[in-house]
């Protein structure tokens, strides 16, 4: 309200006091090496900016490696980066950008190479070396450090260090899309910090303002950012660097820090983890439970032994009533909202949620999962916990 009264809007070419305050707030929680910020209005817009940056910076190299189980936004570039079925419809509309190729996922529950950790020596990461060499002209690798909509997949501890090393060896940029996983959702400011790895470019949005205002940031290292001191970055939006939108950033970050200083999210996330493990052990329809912090998923299967799913990604857009939809619909009728993908239920409670509120939500989910249990096959195979890595 104060900012609306003082200066609600000014063209993005102007520097405002509130923007400087927002930048200082961001610098207080960002890795210090990511010191250059470009502001826009949404996660997909942040990824659009990243594409322009990387292609200008790495010219003439232009190819980008993404993963199949990924989502990076609804615009042309965002859909081009996206590996899940939503890209198919952008392809039909002929709106995708060329030069994006896809790598096997770090999907330990259903390893694309058919091997298991640690004997696999993290082949999903090492295979990128082959891709970079064989493709040629690779400018960047883009990842969701912990996959969002497509199932909260937690890579092995060696995964991102290997990718960072490959990027350094081949002169390829490493880009992290933290639109969903950023701003303390996983227990750290950004999910990639769980692996102790620094990206060259990081995109984020929602959490920066706690979604009170539409804001997004494309952050880069000095090395990338300084390139544009001498080169024109011909990119921008009417609402970029918006004064009113920026005003939510310092307040949101301050509240995030206070919240974590209280210890509530840490206690709640550990409680959530144990409750989800209990649910998975109880319900035969849960094939895998995985996640970290307040960022979890249950993968629903018809048969734990064969890992046969109830539905496929092709059926997601067919109009068929999916099992995950039946579960989430029943939960919604009883007061619990769950995001449902074709094979997973997304569990992402608010950071302010208490242990008591988590218990109430788990009780509802417990009953709703019985819908799938009735159609699942009883086996002697326990639910997988693919986020628990043991050497």
Asked whether the beta carbons of 199 and 174 are under 8 A apart, the reply is: yes
Distances in whole angstroms, Cα of residue 368 to Cα of each of 244, 277, 297, 356 = 41, 16, 15, 19
Say which range, 34-48, 305-319, 327-341, 351-365, has the weakest mean pLDDT. Answer: 305-319
pLDDT-derived band at 295 (thresholds 50, 70, 90) equals very high
Q: What is the pLDDT of residue 389?
A: 85
Terminal CA-to-CA distance of the chain, rounded, Å?
53
Q: Where would I find the H helices in the chain?
A: 2-6, 17-29, 43-58, 76-81, 86-92, 123-135, 159-170, 222-227, 243-246, 248-262, 264-282, 313-316, 323-333, 355-368, 370-373
Residue 391 has pLDDT above 80, yes or no: no
The whole-angstrom separation of Cα 308 and Cα 343 is: 10
Residue 196 has pLDDT above 80, yes or no: yes
What does pLDDT average to over the chain? 96
How is residue 156 written in tokens?
């092995």
Asked whether the beta carbons of 54 and 235 are under 8 A apart, the reply is: no
- Residue spans of the domains in the chain: they are 2-260, 264-373
Hey, what CATH class is 264-373 in? alpha beta
The whole-angstrom separation of Cα 34 and Cα 218 is: 10
How is residue 296 written in tokens?
């979890």
β-strand 295-303 against 286-292: which pairing, if any?
antiparallel
Which range has highest mean pLDDT (11-20, 76-85, 128-137, 318-327)?
128-137
Asked whether the beta carbons of 195 and 226 are under 8 A apart, the reply is: no
How is residue 233 written in tokens?
């970055």
pLDDT digits (tens, 9 = 90+) for 121-152: 999 999 999 999 999 999 999 999 999 999 99
Total-model pTM:
0.95
Q: What is the pLDDT of residue 150?
A: 92
Residue 294 has pLDDT above 70, yes or no: yes
Q: What is the pLDDT of residue 234?
A: 87
Average pLDDT over residues 55-73: 97
- Which residue's entry shows tokens 């986020």? 387
Q: What is the pLDDT of residue 30?
A: 98
Give the contacts of 334 (CB within 8 A, at least 6 positions apart): 364, 367, 368
CATH number, span 2-260: 3.40.640.10
């Amino acid at each position: 309200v104060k900012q609306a009264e003082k200066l609600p809007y000014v063209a993005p070419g102007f520097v405002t006091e509130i923007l400087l305050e927002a930048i200082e707030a961001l610098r207080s929680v960002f890795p210090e090496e990511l010191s250059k910020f470009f502001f826009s209005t949404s996660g997909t817009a942040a990824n659009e900016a990243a594409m322009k940056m990387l292609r200008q910076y790495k010219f003439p190299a232009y190819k980008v490696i993404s993963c199949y189980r990924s989502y990076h936004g609804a615009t042309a570039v965002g859909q081009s980066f996206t590996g899940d079925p939503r890209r198919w419809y952008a392809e039909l509309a002929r709106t995708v950008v060329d030069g994006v190729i896809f790598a096997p996922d770090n999907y330990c529950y259903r390893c694309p190479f058919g091997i298991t950790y640690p004997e696999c020596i993290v082949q999903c990461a090492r295979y990128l070396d082959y891709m970079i060499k064989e493709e040629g002209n690779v400018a960047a690798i883009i990842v969701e450090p912990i996959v969002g909509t497509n199932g909260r997949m937690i890579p092995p501890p060696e995964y991102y260090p290997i990718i960072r090393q490959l990027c350094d060896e081949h002169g390829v940029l490493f880009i992290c899309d933290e639109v969903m996983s950023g701003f303390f959702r996983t227990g750290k400011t950004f999910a990639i910090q769980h692996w102790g790895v620094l990206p060259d470019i990081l995109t984020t949005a929602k959490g920066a303002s706690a979604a009170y205002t539409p804001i997004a940031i494309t952050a880069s290292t000095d090395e990338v950012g300084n390139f544009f001191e001498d080169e024109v970055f011909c990119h921008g939006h009417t609402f970029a660097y918006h004064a009113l939108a920026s005003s939510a950033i310092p307040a949101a970050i301050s509240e995030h820090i206070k919240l974590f200083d209280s210890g509530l999210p840490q206690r709640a996330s550990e409680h959530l983890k144990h409750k989800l493990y209990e649910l998975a052990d109880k319900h035969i329809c849960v094939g895998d439970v995985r996640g970290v912090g307040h960022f979890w998923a249950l993968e629903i299967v018809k048969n734990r032994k064969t890992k046969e799913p109830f539905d496929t990604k092709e059926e997601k857009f067919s109009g068929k009533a999916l099992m995950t939809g039946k579960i989430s619909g029943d939960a919604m009728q009883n007061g619990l909202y769950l995001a449902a993908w074709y094979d997973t239920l997304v569990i992402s409670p608010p950071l302010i949620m208490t242990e008591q509120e988590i218990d109430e939500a788990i009780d509802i989910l417990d009953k709703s999962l019985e819908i799938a249990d009735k159609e699942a096959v009883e086996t002697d195979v326990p639910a997988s916990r693919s986020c628990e890595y043991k050497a």
